[in-house]
């Protein structure tokens, strides 16, 4: 039997690329994407519940595509030390949305680079280099950003940046109190002082922090002269029902990092917005990238924000959260394998009960959930133990949402009745990574 076009391309991909746990070998090959839909090389269509969290306004939004085509005809690239209208307009647009004290921006080509720009700002502003981040978080794959995620990454990578201190994540059992205690201990034990606390205000795996947690972290930072940096790479730009996710937690950071959805799901771009008082090292190149002020990427971001504002998509995400939570609770009454959902806005995860499927909690069960969803045409990823992502574009229609729920209920019934085993054909079983 001959291979399908999709499988043939997957095989060629596996032969050409270095293999990585969360992305290669690939599970399928795509030829098209539009709105909430993905289409593989054999014409099978999937609803995208993952999208690497870049599809805030859906895939291949026609207005972004049209704007980029126009820009290609005039100024597709701007050499550094020159500026251009899209870059300046994007900076002004972001600063106009900033709810805190006067701020400034820097752009980069990806979230990992932007995290490291924020680290540099914190270092030069405080004269310190140590950081506190949350164990099990994810902030990128640069040697600086990656070290923030785990206290003890794979030893084969060798030493990462010194001065990294890790606190228990608030999503762990008893995590909020343990997190604050770990942070207090880190501040007390640091001889040179902490430059910054770096964390996601709402984690990308959709765990919502308890009330008052970030206010106490803000107080600790102020007490010890450290900066608070929020990573909103997956959660910003309205995805949670507020333009900035930190607006949910009642705390203003000293800096925030945006990326992923900022490029309209088409081009890579990231932004650091930070308190203007951190503008203390004009003699240093803290973010001098070749494509720092690329007019194409900047225009993609500017157009994306304009669409979000014009179409009321932030408000749409907040309203859809209520609808989806209620509908998942209704489905759960018919499908015992579903427990409920967590998250804010459209940054959501659906939680399942392994016992209802005669399985135990763990990677095998979660991979089975992903497989069952893929078999029903729902492309998703694991979001930790016994849960999968339910992250739709803010442009999803009511009719499309009905289709999503029909497929979700069938997937829940399938995993409950047959305890599907994960396969390379159906879905990944790798570790949760928001970059996957």
Domains and CATH numbers, the chain: 6-60+312-418 (3.90.1150.10), 62-310 (3.40.640.10)
Q: Name the one residue in this structure whose structure tokens are 């203390």.
A: 280
Residue 361 has what pLDDT?
Answer: 77
- Quote the radius of gyration of the chain (alpha carbons, Å): 22
- Non-local (6+) Cβ contacts of 408 within 8 A are 331, 350, 373, 376, 378, 390
Its pTM stands at 0.93
DSSP state letter for 382: B
Residue 363 has what pLDDT?
Answer: 85
Residue 292 has what pLDDT?
Answer: 94
What is the distance, to the nearest Å, from the Cα of residue 154 to the centroid of all Cα atoms in its chain? 23
Contact 131, 158 (CB under 8 A): no
Digit-coded pLDDT (tens) for 59-116: 999 999 999 999 999 999 999 899 999 999 999 999 999 998 999 999 999 999 999 9
Asked whether the predicted pLDDT for residue 365 surpasses 80, the reply is yes
Asked whether the predicted pLDDT for residue 421 surpasses 60, the reply is no
Asked whether the predicted pLDDT for residue 435 surpasses 60, the reply is no
Asked whether the predicted pLDDT for residue 199 surpasses 80, the reply is yes
* Sheet architecture: strand order including 378-379: 30-34, 37-40, 45-48, 378-379
Residue 356 has what pLDDT?
Answer: 82
Parallel/antiparallel/unpaired status of strands 130-134 and 378-379: unpaired
Residue 430 has what pLDDT?
Answer: 37
Digit-coded pLDDT (tens) for 297-322: 999 999 999 999 999 999 999 999 99
Q: Name the one residue in this structure whose structure tokens are 């820097």.
A: 106
Q: What does each C-alpha distance from 248 to 12, 210, 259, 350, 379 come to in angstroms?
A: 45, 11, 19, 21, 28
Asked whether the predicted pLDDT for residue 342 surpasses 60, the reply is yes
Asked whether the predicted pLDDT for residue 2 surpasses 80, the reply is no
The residue-averaged pLDDT of 388-403 equals 98
* Helical packing angle, 313-334 and 295-310, nearest 10°: 70
């Amino acid at each position: 039997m001959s291979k399908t076009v999709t499988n043939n391309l997957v095989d060629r991909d596996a032969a050409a690329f270095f293999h990585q746990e969360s992305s290669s070998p690939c599970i399928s090959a795509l030829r098209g994407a539009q709105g909430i839909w993905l289409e593989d090389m054999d014409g099978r269509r999937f609803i995208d519940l993952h999208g690497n969290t870049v599809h805030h306004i859906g895939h291949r939004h026609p207005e972004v595509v049209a704007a980029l085509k126009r820009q290609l005809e005039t100024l597709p690239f701007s050499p550094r030390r020159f500026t251009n209208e899209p870059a300046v307009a994007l900076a002004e647009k972001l600063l106009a949305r900033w709810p805190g004290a006067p701020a400034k921006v820097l752009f980069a080509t990806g979230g990992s680079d932007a995290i490291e720009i924020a680290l540099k700002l914190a270092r030069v502003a405080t004269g310190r280099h140590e950081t506190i981040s949350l164990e099990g978080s994810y902030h990128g794959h640069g040697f600086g950003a990656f070290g923030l995620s785990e206290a003890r990454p794979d030893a084969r990578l060798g030493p990462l940046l010194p001065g990294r201190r890790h606190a228990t994540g608030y999503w762990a059992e008893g995590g909020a109190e343990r997190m604050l205690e770990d942070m207090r201990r880190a501040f007390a034990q640091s001889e040179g002082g902490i430059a910054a606390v770096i964390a996601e205000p709402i984690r990308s795996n959709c765990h919502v922090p308890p009330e008052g947690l970030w206010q106490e972290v803000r107080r600790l930072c102020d007490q010890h002269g450290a900066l608070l940096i929020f990573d909103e790479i997956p959660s910003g730009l309205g995805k949670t029902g507020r333009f900035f996710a930190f607006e949910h937690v009642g705390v203003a950071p000293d800096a925030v990092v945006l990326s992923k959805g900022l490029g309209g799901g088409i081009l890579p771009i990231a932004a650091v917005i930070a308190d203007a008082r951190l503008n203390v090292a004009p003699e240093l190149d803290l973010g001098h990238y070749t494509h720092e002020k690329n007019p194409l990427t900047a225009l993609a971001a500017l157009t994306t924000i304009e669409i979000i504002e014009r179409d009321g998509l932030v408000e749409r995400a907040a309203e859809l959260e209520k609808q989806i939570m209620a509908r998942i609770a209704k489905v759960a009454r018919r499908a015992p394998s579903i427990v409920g959902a967590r998250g804010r806005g459209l940054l959501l995860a659906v939680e399942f009960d392994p016992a209802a499927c005669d399985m135990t909690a763990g990677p095998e069960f979660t991979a089975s959930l992903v497989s069952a969803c893929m078999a029903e045409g729902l492309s998703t990823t694991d979001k930790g133990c016994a849960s999968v992502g339910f992250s739709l574009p803010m442009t999803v229609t009511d009719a499309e949402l009905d289709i999503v729920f029909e497929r979700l209920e069938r997937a829940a019934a399938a995993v409950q009745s047959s305890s599907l085993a994960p396969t390379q054909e159906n879905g990944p079983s790798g570790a949760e990574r928001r970059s996957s």
